[in-house]
Structure 1
Amino acid sequence: MFKCVEVLMMSVDWAGYGYAGLVASGGVIGYVKAGSVPSLAAGLLFGGLAGFGAYQTSQDPKNIWVSLAASGTLAAIMGKRFYNSRKIIPAGLIAGASVLMLAKLGARMLQKPQQS
């Protein structure tokens, strides 16, 4: 009985899953529009990592390290691309979303642990 209650009370990282979908779909769109295989590979790789990180965070809210690594890496890479190109799509969008994910994860790290 208590296990069912624990599962129902578990919070799902919807923002993390949305971020993963955005990154993966960006790679697919880059491939479809420009035939860019590196965009497809990077989008699916980082989207998969972000999705796995969201799954881990959903299971244990303190387990943010995969999400932190994926969003931090993308924030740096796409932030540099945005700085050099000044193109909002795709570099600015992904850099901005990555910075927002970093802020969300940072806020989660600063939360005090809940008492059980």
Structure 2
Amino acid sequence: MAVDWSGLCYAALLAAGGVMGYVKAGSVTSLAAGLLFGLLAAVGAYLASQNPKNVWLSLGTAGTLLVVMGLRFLSSWKFMPAGLMALLSGLMVAKIIAGLLRTRPHKS
């Protein structure tokens, strides 16, 4: 049973980003969203650590953030924070999909 360290780091970055948004701009929405998505990503990383095929919560969380933050980045063209979160979420989606393809059984 391998620990999903990249998923846990991603969760910590999401939560830290929400706290930073609250501290810098006083945005309660950023705080709530960061903590909620950080918690979802952490639970997803824990589930993936227990069973490498149980990645659906992680994939849903990262995929949702990829779309939402990607659209925010495309509308503002500001890298921080939307571009960075879209980039990190895209990397997580790619990692999860690559892991799914790697652990998929081959039928003969």
Same fold (TM over 0.5): yes
Give 1:91's aligned amino acid.
Answer: A
Alignment pair present for 1:51 and 2:42: yes
Q: How many residues align?
A: 105
Largest Rg, 1 or 2: 1
Match of 1:28 among 4, 8, 19: 19
Runs (5+) with no aligned partner, structure 1: 1-9
| TM superposition outliers: structure 1 runs of 4+ over 4 Å | none
Alignment pair present for 1:101 and 2:92: yes
Contact residue 53 and residue 103 of structure 2 kept, 8 A: no
TM-score by length of 2: 0.94
In percent, how many aligned pairs have the same letter?
60
Question: What secondary structure is seen at the aligned counterpart in 1 of 2:90?
Answer: helix
Match of 1:85 among 73, 76, 79: 76
Query: What is the distance in 2 between the residues matched to 1:25 and 1:87?
Result: 19
Runs (5+) with no aligned partner, structure 2: none
**1:69-98, Cα deviation, whole Å (9 max, x unpaired):** 000000000000000111111001100000
